[in-house]
Amino acid sequence: MCGIYGYFSFDEKVSGDGCLREMAERLHHRGPDGVGLYSKGQVGLGNVRLAIIDPEGGDQPYFSDDNNVVVVQNGEIFNFRELRRELELEGVLFKSDCDTEVLLHLYLKMGMEFLSQLNGMFSIAIYDNREQALYLARDRIGEKPLYFSKDASTLYFGSEIKAFLPYIEKNINHTALNAFLRLNYVPAPLTAFENVLHVMPGSYLSVTNVGVSEVQWWNLTTQSDSELQTEERWQEEFLNILDDSVRMRLVSDVPFGAFLSGGVDSTSVVGLMSKHMDLPVKTYSIGFPDPRFDESIYAEMAAKRFNTEHHSKIVDYDIVSEWSDFIFYCDQPHGDVSFMPMRKVSELAALDVKMVLTGDGADELFAGYEKHVPFLSRQDISLYSDKEFLDGYLPYLSMFNTEDCKVLWKKEHQNKIDWSLVENELSEALKSCEHFDPINKGMYLDMHFLLPGNNLVKPDRMAMSKSLETRAPFLDYRMMEFAFRTPGKYKLHNGDKKYLYKKAVTPLIGEELAYRKKQMFTVPIGEWFRGELSKYCYDVLLSENSRITELFSSVYMTNMLDKHVSGEANYTREIRALIAIELWLQNSF
């Protein structure tokens, strides 16, 4: 687990080691264990390292014997030992026990086709001097981030935008910010900065003096959800994949543990970890004084069932004092305040371990959210056209609607916005998965937009801000492909979320934990906005120092706050999104 960064100069004006060292300093939290740099001619690559595998011998970059190929990566390749054994049988000699060296030799053997051999979470940068080409690759679903910005002279890239932000012209992307108001996150490939984009999940960029091209090397829509099998056979395959995925993610040369909320996902992961480990699993959870949001009783129950070494902490509304910090580490506005407790549980875990396993991804794969039930359970939904599906489902995905956004934005900014972007992007995604049944269409939208846009940003940025690696067994590519070969009725059945999944794990985790009511991992921020934090809301959004009033109507925001504080209406999501924008503006401009 690390951070990567660098540049490619089209006009051959060299940025050099000084630029790379500055980038390394801005990503120090991602890799406090070491810094590696390479610069030659028009290209520079760098890595900051959080040492998980081969702490003594795994420093990056890695070079081919003739120094023509250079590799850095952020992430972990979970099947690297199997891949290494195959290469050794072909006569390849290794100088370390690190997975990055395996990437180098795979590339030398196969070119960029090597990506399909990897089971892992990764962002990879490869410079091939033989072709004078830089390749920037990202894992299948976007567990590891990778951003870039290109102008006429230079392409900069980094695991976080802050790595290269001082070297580019900073401007607000109004369309992206409006999409954030609609969805509560900025959908990739856009970012809130003009001319800063994501390398898309399952894709790589080829950068040469001729320009930049994109290649998609993996696509979830190649699966077909028409695969039929008995419920028993499905449960057996599901458990086999999850068990092996957990086993693979236990490879580590440093202490590790797991986040444990007591929910079905994290409990299943911890239960399988305990089967493969001789020592008790170290587990970590956060609780809240408000019982509506507190899962600590279930975390304790799961910890007791699997005899874990459990650590927990209660947090209160003073957690909001760290709101600006979490926006800083995200580089963009995110309205999901569960980022804050995620950072707290990461801080707690980082006292003991350098890596944790999580339950991320299961809700998006197997229909675990309450929003999935009211629309996707409709009896006639299979008769809907794509437009009818989108019109019906969008209210469950969105926050502000277009009409509200047009009132919120000041008139001088409205002509800078593509108002149809969200609908167009969702519509294109639906076209690409038209062979899926309606339930899996909903799951695909979550996988394509929500996961890389928000839900995977949370564990990566919040844990890495505390120099902690997270691994998500449910996002093994075998599990993702299996999930989208699964008919939707096995996921959402008569309103029962994770229908066969919960049946499959009940013998492992027990009926009470398998079928307990889902609680959101968040804080009671809406109530705090009416009480202890009401003055904070007015100060952040409507003071004379507020930057957000340059973009949005003060009258609209005042009316919203007044109605929320008085209890006349509930604008929790909208207020926290606007606060996130203000804090992002303060951090970035």
Q: Is 255 exposed, middle or buried (0-12, 13-18, 19+ CB in 10 A)?
A: exposed
The per-residue pLDDT string of the chain (589 residues; one tens digit each, 9 = 90 and over) reads 689 999 999 987 777 889 999 999 999 999 999 999 999 999 999 999 988 887 877 789 999 999 999 999 999 999 999 999 999 999 999 999 999 999 999 999 999 999 999 999 999 999 999 999 999 999 999 999 999 999 999 999 999 999 999 999 999 999 999 999 999 999 999 999 999 999 999 999 999 999 999 999 999 999 998 777 899 999 999 999 999 999 999 999 999 999 999 999 999 999 999 999 999 999 999 888 877 777 889 999 999 999 999 999 987 767 788 899 999 999 999 999 889 889 999 999 999 999 999 999 999 999 999 999 999 999 899 999 999 999 999 999 999 999 999 999 999 999 999 999 999 999 999 999 999 999 999 999 999 999 999 999 999 999 999 999 999 999 999 999 999 999 999 999 999 999 999 999 999 999 999 998 776 556 778 888 999 999 999 999 999 999 999 999 999 999 999 999 999 999 999 999 999 999 999 999 9
Handedness of CA 230, 305, 494, 368 (dihedral sign): negative
Beta strand extents in 62-210 (DSSP E only): 62-63, 69-77, 120-128, 133-138, 147-150, 154-158, 197-198, 203-208
H helical segments located in 362-409:
362-366, 372-376, 386-397, 402-408
Residue 552 CA to residue 549 CA, distance in Å, equals: 5
Contacts of 251 (CB under 8 A, 6+ apart): 53, 76, 78, 81
Q: What 8-state DSSP symbol labels residue 387?
A: H
The catalytic residue positions are 2
3-state SS, residue 384: coil
Nearest of 157, 153, 197, 224 to residue 23 by alpha carbon:
157
Residue-range domains of the chain with CATH: 2-172+187-218 (3.60.20.10), 222-368+440-510 (3.40.50.620), 525-588 (no CATH)
Query: Following CA atoms 310, 356, 163, 547 in sequence, which dihedral angle do they give, to the nearest 10 degrees?
Result: -50
Q: Are 286 and 313 in contact (CB under 8 A)?
A: yes
Q: Cα dist. 581→171, 185, 587 in Å?
A: 14, 11, 10
